[in-house]
């Protein structure tokens, strides 16, 4: 698999990235990936990460649960229930933190938009 090495934190720009843990992809490739954490801001990322040309294979597996899947199996129902619960919690937390004021929110990488719609 071609990899792309991340040299600095995509959030704060620090180059102090430290290995946090190693995890194995048990559903598609059986590859082991390293999760690193930025010492400056705490952001965690896969490094090295699959490049743009190879990332698609991780989403072609029957084991992958899509965020917008219409499938009705047990795993999909549990996933959708958990997603609903976590979205409601996030909305409640943001409402609490901003004192209920109206405003704008940037959700970078918002996927299907369920959080923004919540």
User: Whole-angstrom Cα distance, residue 61 to residue 52?
Assistant: 17
Please say whether the beta carbons of 3 and 51 come within 8 A: yes
- Tens-of-pLDDT digits for all 118 residues of the chain? 578 999 999 989 999 999 999 999 887 788 899 999 999 999 899 999 988 888 888 777 666 666 555 666 777 788 778 878 888 888 888 888 888 788 777 766 666 666 666 5
pLDDT of residue 116: 65
69: left (phi over 0), alpha (psi -120 to 50) or beta: beta
pLDDT of residue 15: 97
pLDDT of residue 7: 96
pLDDT of residue 113: 66
pLDDT of residue 108: 64
């Amino acid at each position: 698999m071609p990899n792309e090495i991340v040299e600095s934190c995509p959030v704060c720009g620090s180059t102090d990235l430290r290995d946090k843990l190693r995890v194995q992809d048990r559903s598609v490739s059986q590859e082991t990936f390293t999760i690193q954490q930025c010492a400056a801001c705490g952001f965690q990322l896969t490094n090295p990460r699959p490049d743009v040309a190879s990332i698609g294979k991780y989403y072609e597996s029957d084991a992958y649960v899509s965020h917008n899947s219409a499938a009705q199996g047990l795993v999909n129902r549990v996933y959708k229930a958990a997603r609903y619960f976590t979205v409601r919690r996030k909305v409640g937390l943001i409402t609490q933190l901003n004192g209920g004021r109206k405003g704008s929110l940037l959700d970078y990488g918002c996927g299907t938009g369920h959080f923004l719609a919540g």
